[in-house]
Structure formats: structure tokens, C-alpha cells
Structure 1
Amino acid sequence: MDPLSHATGPRTLDRREGPYGEVVLRERRGPDGEIHEIIANGCFLMDTSDGRSERLLMDAAYAALAGRPDPSVLIGGLGVGFSLARAAAEPGWSRIAVAEREQAIIDWHTTGPLRHLSAAALADPRTTVLHTDLVAHLHSTSDTYDALCVDIDNGPDWTVTEGNGGLYAPDGLRACARCLNPGGVLAVWSAQPSRTFEQTLRNAGFSGVRTEEVVVARGVPDVVHLAVRPA
């Protein structure tokens, strides 16, 4: 009999203290095999059980660019790699950058248990991994992109670390806009819809604000908030 068939909970594969607190990679058995989970400062971030919302994040941003030739994208957060893998699977992106502040997460993808999810995307010549905090990067970089896809928290109303809250405030959204080319798209993943955030986007000068939902059988759906920097 498989000894894992009676497992009662996840097992820890790696635990590290970084400049932003503790990050943990855990593994648990699911109906279709092992599922990996990332925990930050005791808060569940994401797992590998279902990547539909991450795929929606990337697909919705690309579709919103409406055929713009050779678009570029900056992804905020490497996470379990679903967003990066989806971006690399789309040949239309000309340049793909992903900002990840936790060295542990980068290591899990390059040499650790998550490499099977992202190896092809990381090897793609269009891909660049930026070991940096997204919030700090937006305020300091002179690079611009056609799309900015953010998945670093559980949403604008449920941040993992206190410093991330500023990203969803007017000053942070203005930094997002400065990082976008005219007509560029901001896509923000959230574990729940936020009408307040939609209004904040409009107040920050974005247009075309809308929200797409991931259909779920029950409970609150994951969503992607979309907004356009006016041309």
C-alpha cells in the first residue's frame, strides 16, 4: 500500500527566513498527485492544485492588448510558476520579465521541487527573472511594458505583507501606470472581487476598468481586475 495514502497533512520541504519574513514550501497529496503550497509569514499564498486563475490573468491581459504587435509583459510574482508558464506558452509576447523578491522561491524553480513547472519557461530566451521587490522596482525602474500582471498577494484587500498595501493605493497605481506604455494593460489577481479597488483604479486615471471571474462551484470566485493606461 502506498505509505502516503494515509497522510494526514502536508510535509514541509523547505523553510527559510528572508528579508520579508518566513517562506515555506509544503507538499501534500491530492487526488491527482502531489500538490505544492507556498506559505508566507503563516499566510497561504497559492498552490499547484488549480492554475485557472493564473492562466486567466495572463490570457485576459494579452487579449486586452487587442493585437498590439510584439507586446512585452512584466509579471509581479513568480509564485508556483503558473503565470510565467502561461506567458511563455503564448508566442505573441516578445519580452517576458518576472519580478520575484524571495530568493527561496527562485531557487525552488531553478533547482528545487517546482522546476518541473517552470523549466521550459525559464529557459525561454524571452524570459528574464528580476530578483527584486515589485513595489520598489516600479518606483525605480525606467523600463516600460505593454502589460503588467500582478499576483503577489491574495488581492488588494488581503495583502501578505504590510508594505504591499501601497501597491493598490493611488500612489502605487500611478507607479504601475508609469511602468506601462500608453494603452498598456494592468491586470491584478485577487481572491475576491473588490468594487472599492475598481473605483481606486478609475481615480488613479485608468480607463476600461472591468473584472473577470473564474467560475467556481461554490464560494467566492477568484477574479482578475483589468484596467488600461490611457494612450
Structure 2
Amino acid sequence: MRYEAGEDERTEKPMIPWIELDSASIPGEAATLRLKQRGAEFSIMLGSNELMNSRLYGSEEALAELAAERIAGRKAPAVLIGGLGMGFTLRAALAVLPADARIIVAELVPAVVAWARGPMADVFKGALDDPRVEVVTGDVTALIARSKGAFDAILLDVDNGPDGLTRSSNDQLYSLSGLAASKAALKKAGVLAVWSAHPDDRFTARMKKSGFATEAVSVRANAKKRGRKHVVWVGVN
């Protein structure tokens, strides 16, 4: 039991237990994602590691906002988001991009898209139904490789950042060759924005070596600007 103090007295409130709603395999990996719910809160887990939580989304919003600032004023901007997650980056992008924008979201795990339209529909608030949005089920690395000069911005929230956790092949996305592919997929003065749970000086160096004018921005995980810090790299082509 947890005790919470009121204004005049302490009241006893039971802890709400987590309930596992569903699980899904990750293509090409033995690992399994699990969707859990506690009241109105959702969590996506990989083993004992929490990949994302519906209460902590400030840095995911910053990923979209920082990129959008750098392409502001462009006509009909095309934006690729790698990783659907809980939709916070997508929702933030929709809030700041113009009505003529086109947003492609690449999500590797089909179940994550199903969760967005099912148990987490209230979290997504209809974002997938916006006419500017197209969801592609598949590997964002392959999509980037076949796209030449296609995007004004690429936003990557894949895995735990450059230090892969869920899928070993994600390391390719953040390698020198992967960064070169992202650079080739961007238009002139396009933006590559990368989310990470942790700072990584080696990745900063790789982005710079790949020809991006790079800034590593420290952002709060909590939308209320409190709590632990994450990192968003912003690189201009």
C-alpha cells in the first residue's frame, strides 16, 4: 500500500498494478516487446528495460520541435519519422508543421501500429488519421537507403539511440555509412535529428565527420522540464 498525505490527514490509497496487454516479437531479433498499462499510464518494455512511458515525452516532443525550427518557412516540407513509439514525436510534428506538410512514419513492428489504433488510441489523439500522415510498416534504414533527396527532415527515434538496445542491426543506422545514407536522403540544407537516452561524444564526432553541422542538445525527458535528461542531435546537411 502507498500512503499519500492530504491537506489535513494522510489517506491510504492502493497501488494500481501493471497489466500486460500484449507482446510482440521484433523482426530479425529474439527480443520481445511488451505493452503494459497501469490506470491511464502505458509502458513499452523490452525485458526489464522500459523503452518508453506515456508520462515521459518531453524529449520526444523536442525531437520534432528542434527539427521543425530549422526548416520553418519551407513550402510543403517532407518529413520522415523513424519509429512510431507512443506517437509523441508525431503529435509534436503535426502541431508545428504547416498544413501542406507530408509526414511519413516508418515503424518496424506491426503490433506497435496496432497498439496505437487500439489500447493507446487516447494517447495518440487521432494523429494517425491526420491527412498529412502516412504510416509505413518496415525498416526505416531500408526506406532511407532508397530515398534520394526526398526529405527536408529525418527524425530518428529508433532503439535507445546510437547505443542500440532492442535490435543489433540498428547500429547500422547510426554508423558512418548509415549517416551517409541519411545525408543522401535529405534535400539541400535538410535536417537530421536523432534522439538518444544518453549522451555519446563518439556519435557527435561521427555526425560531424559525415558532414553535418551538428549540435547536441540536452533536453528533459519530462514535458514539465523536470527529471532526467536525454539528448537530441540536430545536424544540418
Structures share a fold, TM > 0.5?
yes
Residue segments in structure 1 that go unaligned for 5+ positions in a row: none
- Per-residue CA deviations over 1:6-38 (Å, capped at 9, x if unaligned) read 236422011123424412100124xxxx21111
- Post-superposition offset of 1:101: 0.8
Scaled by the length of structure 2, what TM-score is found?
0.85
Residues 15 and 23, structure 1, Cα contact 8 Å, conserved in 2 = yes
Scaled by the length of structure 1, what TM-score is found?
0.87
C-alpha separation between the residues in 1 aligned to 2:149 and 2:86?
25
Is residue 68 of structure 1 aligned with residue 74 of structure 2?
Answer: yes
C-alpha separation between the residues in 2 aligned to 1:14 and 1:55?
26
- Post-superposition offset of 1:89: 1.9
- What letter matches 2:102 in structure 1? R
Is residue 213 of structure 1 aligned with residue 218 of structure 2?
Answer: yes
C-alpha separation between the residues in 2 aligned to 1:61 and 1:45?
22
- Per-residue CA deviations over 1:109-137 (Å, capped at 9, x if unaligned) read 12x11112224211111100010111122
2:41 maps to 35
- Post-superposition offset of 1:218: 5.4
More deviation, 141-150/165-174: 141-150
C-alpha separation between the residues in 1 aligned to 2:124 and 2:211?
35
- Correspondence for 2:233 among 218, 225, 231: 225
2:102 maps to 95
1:185 maps to 191
RMSD: 1.9
Residues 23 and 104, structure 1, Cα contact 8 Å, conserved in 2 = no
2:175 maps to 169
1:115 maps to 121
C-alpha separation between the residues in 1 aligned to 2:17 and 2:116?
23
Is residue 23 of structure 1 aligned with residue 46 of structure 2?
Answer: no
C-alpha separation between the residues in 1 aligned to 2:194 and 2:16?
34
- Correspondence for 2:18 among 3, 10, 23: 10
More deviation, 80-89/100-109: 80-89
Residues 210 and 227, structure 1, Cα contact 8 Å, conserved in 2 = yes
- What letter matches 2:76 in structure 1? D
C-alpha separation between the residues in 1 aligned to 2:42 and 2:36?
6
Determine which structure has more spread, i.e. the larger CA radius of gyration: 2
C-alpha separation between the residues in 2 aligned to 1:158 and 1:9?
30
- Post-superposition offset of 1:41: 5.2
C-alpha separation between the residues in 1 aligned to 2:71 and 2:109?
30
Residues 109 and 119, structure 1, Cα contact 8 Å, conserved in 2 = no
- What letter matches 1:213 in structure 2? S
Residues 206 and 228, structure 1, Cα contact 8 Å, conserved in 2 = yes
C-alpha separation between the residues in 2 aligned to 1:41 and 1:172?
27
Is residue 156 of structure 1 aligned with residue 166 of structure 2?
Answer: no
Residues 164 and 170, structure 2, Cα contact 8 Å, conserved in 1 = no
C-alpha separation between the residues in 2 aligned to 1:72 and 1:50?
27
In the superposition, relative to structure 1, how do residues 187 and 107 fare at CA in structure 2: closer, same or farther (>3 Å)? same
Aligned length: 218
- Post-superposition offset of 1:158: 4.0
Greater than 6 Å deviation, 4+ residue runs: none
